[in-house]
Structure formats: structure tokens, C-alpha cells
Structure 1
Amino acid sequence: MSAVERIVAKDDSDDIGIARHLFEEIAARTADIEGVSRPAFSDIETQTLQFLEAFARKQGLDVWYDAGRNANFRLPEHRAADRFIIVGSHVDSVPFGGNFDGLAGIVAGLICLTRARRRGAGTLRPVHVLALRGEESAWFGPCYIGSKALTGRLAPAELEARHKRDGRTLDDHMSDAGIAMEDVRAGRPLIDLSKIETYLELHIEQGPLLIGKQIPAAVVSGIRGNIRHRAIRCVGEAGHSGAVPRAFRRDPVLAMADLLSRLDESWSTILGKGDDLVLTSGIVGTDPEKHAMSRIPDTVTFSLDIRSQSAATLDEMRALLDREMRQVERERKVRFEMDEELCSRPAQCDAALVAQLQAAMQRAGQKPFVMASGGGHDAAVFASAGVPSAMVFVRNRNGSHNPREAMDLSDFVAATDILYGFLEDRR
């Protein structure tokens, strides 16, 4: 019997049953044409929180909503605790996304609480499980909205960001969700950060490393920061595809391709120096009212997402982007129009917490393994707010932000065991 099989065998049939129930029910309730869609600050997101609330109350847990309308859960025995550990993640998803991204962390926290009730509440240190709203940037542009609001770090410009479907502002949507916005607009924290001892987050891995290494779970060392542009516009000049010679063209699509190729070459160079970087342009398009096979377009719009674990590398890429744009403008007679930059700084997980999670991993019968996170997470916001933070990853096939996320429940329980081992009262 392998280490993971021994872990699953010990008392985890209840845990697997709870996890399967919660994952399957929420997937069914939030299903879309493909995958799931739980838009940030939507009725669907609210109903998901209410479903988790109903489950938690049946388990005898305390449930309440904070000023950001995030759901919180704890053991009744911990009501009087002056300080506590937060185990948190988010309930929203990208459009047509996978069911486990974010939700796995909340379910893991709830399983830690229900396991403690089975074993005796005194086995667990004071814990609040936090089900956050609005982590994904897919709906409004800014990321980590719920955790930024809680910690007083949501910028006024972010509140003016508009929803990708209805065009209304983030401020409007948050107000509709029942959030009293005065403190949010003023940048005041919605919770007492001094009471939070630690922030922990369990999350599916969003890349292939754990699959390749055949490891069910890992401890996270740090989280990449990012520079994002939702819509950069390149403006050229329309023309007939057959009648305008190359020398006379002002083709914005080829200019965009030229720019991205230059950035790609720089990416390769930076990796060759041993630095960390990823670069993506996930949204590209000409005007659908105008574009045609036989027409040189006059504009093209594209997104840009640059990520690194190094703040210096991000700064270098920002400067490089500006230089290369100016060069492409001169050579191809086009103009780039920038939207507002969205920026998140890299975050390092607390070294002492990483060591303690590794020890918990070993106690759970797993070989300790530490890796960096390519994706961003709410843990980065709590870390930047001065709260010691750390993460645990679960192996997940087929990546993330797609309906084919595939997390085995045995892997999920193995990762939850690491979390629980850290939270155990070992006095």
C-alpha cells in the first residue's frame, strides 16, 4: 500500500464523501454550456455561498458573513479566540471554467473543521475558513478583488472597472451584492488584520509539474506577480488586401505580431539568464463589424499578461515593452494606445510556515516537496498586508481555467492532510 493509499484509508471515507458531495452539488448548480461559471459578485456566486452555509450549519459549524459579504465558518468552540488562522480561497470561477479552481481550498477548510468535530474540537487550533468572493480577473479585469477589499487594498481605479458582459462598474456589482462600500472606497480594511495569525490556502496546481513528478501535493514557496493590460489598441490604416504594397502598409495586426515576437525573444533571453518569466496574450481581435478577409484592418486590440517571481524582472519587462512599442511604431507607421496597467507584486510565502507545512507533509507520510506558484492567489494579498501566508498545491490534470480540470479525490485528501497536520493543536 502506497503512502497516499494509507492516508486515504485511515479515516478519510467521510472526508471523500463530503468532498464528493460538495463538488458535485456545486458543479451541478453552477453548470454552464461547458464547465462552470460563477461570476464574481453575481447571484450565482451568492447562491454558492448560501449552499456552503447550509451545509456548514448542518455540520454544527458557526457561519457568518463579513463586511465584504464573504462567508466564514468555524467550530463553535473557537468563538472566543482572540487570534485565529484563516484557511481561505475563492468561490468564483472564470467563464466556462473548472469546478476545483478556488473551491477546493474552501472544501478542504470545511473538511478540516468537520474532521476536528469527529475527533474532538480540541485537536485543532482556532481556525476560520474563509470563502472569498471575486478572485478571478476574468469578469472585471482586476484580480483578488474580495481579498483586496477585506485588507483595504482595492484601488479606486479598480472600482471603476467594467464587467465584461453588462458594462456596469465593479462598484455597482459589489453594492448589489450587499457590500457597504464606504470603507471599501476609502481603502479601509473590513477586518481586523491584527487578529489573523496566519493565512493558509489550498489550491489546485494550475500547471503540469506535480503530474510530471507523480506527486499528489506540494508546499508552495512563492507566488508570481504580474503586469496586465486588458486591452492594448494598435491603430494603423485600413486598405485593400490586394492593392496596397508592403512599403505603404500601416498594418496593425502585423505590428502587434512584430511586438509579440520581440517580447517572445526577450522572454527566451531572460529564461536563459536563469530568471523567471511567463508571457501571454490571451485576447486578440479586430473589429468584428469591419473585419474581412480582403481588408487590411485599421485597428487590433490585444491583452497582455506578464508574470514573474521577481519584481525587478517585471520592472524590466515594463520598460522593455515601452521601448519595443516605440520601435515598432516607427518602423511600421502605427500607434499603440495603452489602457491602464493592472499590477500585482510577487509574494513570498513565509519561510517558517513553509518549513512547518513541510514537516506536516512528512508526518502525513508524504515526501516533502516545495515549488513556486505560476498563478496568482489571494494568499499574495494577505502576504502584502503583513499577514504570514503560505499555500498547499494539489495535483491536477489538464491545467486550470478550463472545464477539463481533473483532480483525484485521493490527491485532494492527501493535500488536506498536510493542512490538517499544520492546524493540529500540538501543545
Structure 2
Amino acid sequence: MTLAEAIAAQTPLVQRLLDGLAAIGADPPGITRDAYGRGENEAQALVAAAGDALGLERAIDAGANLSLRWAGTDPSAPPILIGSHLDSVVQGGNFDGAAGVVAGLAAVAALQAAGIRPRMDIEVLALRCEEAVWFGLGLIGSRCLLARLPPGALDLRHARTGLTLAESIAACGGDPQRLRAGTPLRDPARLGAYLEVHIEQAPQLVEAGAPAALCLANPGNLRHPYIRITGEDAHTGLPHRFRRDAALAGADLALGLERLWLEEEAAGRPMAVTIGRFHTPVDRHSLTMVSGRFELSLDLRAYAADHLAALEERLARIVAEVAARRGVRIELGERSAAAPGPMDPGITECFAAAAARAGLPAPRLNSPGSHDANNFAASGVPTGMLLVRNRNGSHNPEEAMETGDLMAAVAILVHWLAERAGAGM
């Protein structure tokens, strides 16, 4: 069987797994696979069963991540990891993260069908809790694996169950005590590469008319999930000069951040500002009251660590200016951060050569999203990503990846693996 035939033969496996994951997460109008909960657990079980059928060795690490290992011929060779996540946001789409885990399994199955035995181990990883919606902190599975959990992370509480992260990990077969030691579960220096396939989260590939792309970099992010603005409750007729209006201060802050964003883009420094929560307190807001309290969330992202640091300084200045002008107190509150994820140039070039061998166009794009790949890149692991065309963005029920486009990414991945890992036909 040729390599192209072996890849095409995995389409039914890919479709069966995607359909199974959709059934597990069904939550009309979208998909919900809760991290460290039923949805993610059942998705892991589905993927593990597929790995069993391929003869892969399964293991659960201290963060409750699932590894499916195909042993290579040279035990001393650094392994290649192919990973992504299975959790989703609440009522999101089916493909964000999950498509990458399925792609890893399909790549292994294609190599097996083509009679290619890897020289080094190839591991497919289903990493836990990539989405920040569940604990207010994202990329948790890869943070656990690489000892990148911030202080206090194990005490964060799950948005639905109320269990701490430590309790949630233990309930899913992990070992939070091992994580408290603060040492990596896998030595980054002994990993040959980390590869991730992920749907694209902007319409760049739709615009380019290409099924897949080579990712150049993922942004890092700075997050404040609970920014609190405190002014003074007052009657709606209060003259402007006496007001300490928290809602208008929130609006000022949002518009100030948008001005920052537009200035940075005009200067050729790509970034993004996202305000996901923006509200007066639901238990007290009223048509006939000036609100003395306001809350919002903030996600700032950029592609370089020094740029993120500069944006954080600008954020502090904007906050101080708004607070002084409006006579309010602004507390940024809890903070989390993820390092930017530049992809390894050598892997990117080899991906380009693999795409050429597969007869596929291969545009090069930045991803607008942060991914588990960020943590591997920040830990010094050679990291590469492929992006898959996906209409209608992500984190919504309208995700619209076509299976054929995912198979194009699988083809690039398989050709890369056959060149890098193949020990013989």
C-alpha cells in the first residue's frame, strides 16, 4: 500500500472518532466536553479504545493526561509527541482540540498500514483541560506535564463541580501530590519533538483557499478573569460632576484598550484584546441606579514575550488614567499568563517539504490562539503546528471543519513522520 493510499484509508476511522466525540459532547446548540468531568473522561475513553485497536500502550500521568505510545525500534531515540486536547468550552464546537488528537491517531494508523516502523517512540497525547473556562486557567494538561502550573493553581475550583483542581485530577486517576513537587513529568531535554494539529480560529485559510497551513507562531496571553471596578451607587439624576460611575469607567477601560490595539496593529505589532465578561452586578443593577460596581474579564495576547510585557505596562497606565478620571478604584485581580509559542523553524521547513511531497499547498500563518504547543515551545522542546481550515471560527457551535481538510493535515504529518521517524518499509 502506498503512503497516499494508507492515509486515505484512515478517513473512516477519523470520521468515526469525530462522530463519537460529537455524540459524547452533545449539548444543543453546541458541544460541551467538561474538563476533568464526564465529557472529557468519556472522550479519553473513546480515544484510548482506538489506541488499543492500533496496539498502542496506554498510560495516565500525574496530571491525568492520556498517552498512547507506539514503541520504536531504538529505545534510546527521543520520542515524538503528537498532542492536543479533548475538552471544549461550554456549547462550543466539536473540533477545537479534538481534531488534533484524532489526527495523531490517524497518522499512526496510516504509518502502520504503509508498513513503516518508527525508529523512535511516537506518542499520541490527549492533554487535559486546555480551555480556561473550567478553572480560569488554560493549558492545564501541558502545564502539569512540564511543571508550568502557577502557584496556587491546584487550589483553583472547577466552574461546575466546585472541586479544586487537585481534587479533580485525583478523581480522574492523576496524582496531585506528584505535581506539587514542581518537577516536569517528562524531561523536556529528552523529547524529540512536539507536534500539534489544530483547527484554525480565523478565516485565513478560507481566504487563502487552502485546506491546511504551517503555523509560524502562537500568541502568548495575559489574563485577568475578574477585574473589579468600584465607584459609588447613586440616583440616576445625579449631575455628572458628582458621579463615580463604575459602568462608564468600564466602558472607558474597554475603549482605551481598543485604542491601544489599533495603535499596535498600525505599527505592525500584531496583538489582540478580548473582553469576554462585561457587566454590572446582576444582584444589584437597576434601570434607575448609577452603578457603583462593575466587572469585566480581559485577555491580552501577542507573539513575543517583550511585547506582552510592554502591553502589560500600557494596561497599568490605562487603568490608572481611567481610575483617576472617573474617581473609581480598579482592581485587576487574579492574573494568569501563557508564554508565546514560536514554532521551530527546522520543523516548519520539514513540514513544508512534507506538504510538497503530499502535493498540498502550504501557506504559512500565525495562529490567533494560544495552545498546548506554547508550553512545549517555552520549555525548549522543538515544536511544530499544522492549522486546518475551519469556517466560522471556534468556541461556538458553528465550527465547520471538513474531514477532507483534516485529512490534508494528516497527510502532511504522515509524510513528515515517514521521513523523520521511519526505520524501514
Normalising TM by the smaller chain, what interval?
over 0.9
Distance in 1 (CA, whole Å) between partners of 2:118 and 2:314 is 53
For residue 190 of structure 1, the aligned residue among 171, 174, 185 is 185
Change beyond 3 A, Cα 1:77–1:197: closer
Distance in 1 (CA, whole Å) between partners of 2:54 and 2:5 is 21
Change beyond 3 A, Cα 1:123–1:178: closer
Q: CA deviation at 1:82?
A: 4.1
Match of 1:362 in 2: 356
SS of equivalent residue, structure 2 residue 370: coil
Identity of aligned residues (%): 38
For residue 349 of structure 1, the aligned residue among 343, 351, 358 is 343
Change beyond 3 A, Cα 1:267–1:250: same
Distance in 2 (CA, whole Å) between partners of 1:213 and 1:144 is 29
Does the 8 Å contact 2:3/2:110 carry over to 1?
no
Does the 8 Å contact 2:77/2:120 carry over to 1?
no
Distance in 2 (CA, whole Å) between partners of 1:76 and 1:196 is 14
Deviations 1:209-255 (A, max 9, x none): 001111110011111011110010011111222x2111111111111
Match of 1:4 in 2: none
**Structure 1, unpaired ranges of 5+:** 1-6
Matched, 1:339 2:333: yes
For residue 278 of structure 1, the aligned residue among 272, 278, 281 is 272
Does the 8 Å contact 2:340/2:378 carry over to 1?
no
- Structure 1 length as normaliser, TM-score? 0.94
SS of equivalent residue, structure 1 residue 373: coil
Change beyond 3 A, Cα 1:78–1:195: farther
Matched, 1:231 2:226: yes
Aligned residues: 420
Q: CA deviation at 1:369?
A: 1.6
Q: CA deviation at 1:24?
A: 0.5
For residue 116 of structure 1, the aligned residue among 88, 97, 111 is 111
Distance in 2 (CA, whole Å) between partners of 1:259 and 1:349 is 33
- Structure 2 length as normaliser, TM-score? 0.94
Deviations 1:263-284 (A, max 9, x none): 2112111111111111010111
Distance in 1 (CA, whole Å) between partners of 2:162 and 2:381 is 34
> What one-letter code is carried by the residue in structure 2 that aligns with 1:28?
A
- Of the structure 1 ranges 153-162 and 364-373, higher mean CA displacement relative to structure 2 is found in 153-162
For residue 44 of structure 1, the aligned residue among 39, 47, 51 is 39
Matched, 1:173 2:200: no
SS of equivalent residue, structure 1 residue 50: helix
Deviations 1:368-391 (A, max 9, x none): 321111100111101111111110
Match of 1:265 in 2: 259
For residue 28 of structure 1, the aligned residue among 17, 23, 27 is 23
Distance in 1 (CA, whole Å) between partners of 2:178 and 2:216 is 32
Change beyond 3 A, Cα 1:163–1:230: same
Change beyond 3 A, Cα 1:276–1:317: same
Match of 1:61 in 2: 56
User: Cα RMSD over matched residues?
Assistant: 1.9
**Structure 2, unpaired ranges of 5+:** none
1:123-142 equivalences under 5 Å are 126-142=121-137
Deviations 1:10-68 (A, max 9, x none): 44543211111001111111211321111211132122111111222123332222232
Does the 8 Å contact 1:77/1:121 carry over to 2?
no
Q: CA deviation at 1:319?
A: 1.2
Q: CA deviation at 1:326?
A: 1.3
1:391-410 equivalences under 5 Å are 391-410=385-404
Change beyond 3 A, Cα 1:167–1:248: farther
Match of 1:385 in 2: 379
Distance in 2 (CA, whole Å) between partners of 1:58 and 1:10 is 20
> What one-letter code is carried by the residue in structure 2 that aligns with 1:108?
A
Matched, 1:326 2:320: yes
Deviations 1:139-184 (A, max 9, x none): 1111111101111111222222222234332222222222111221
SS of equivalent residue, structure 1 residue 279: strand
Does the 8 Å contact 1:74/1:113 carry over to 2?
no
Does the 8 Å contact 2:7/2:410 carry over to 1?
no
SS of equivalent residue, structure 2 residue 89: coil
> What one-letter code is carried by the residue in structure 2 that aligns with 1:351?
P
Change beyond 3 A, Cα 1:214–1:8: farther
Q: CA deviation at 1:125?
A: 5.2
Distance in 2 (CA, whole Å) between partners of 1:230 and 1:319 is 18
Matched, 1:200 2:198: no
Match of 1:93 in 2: 88
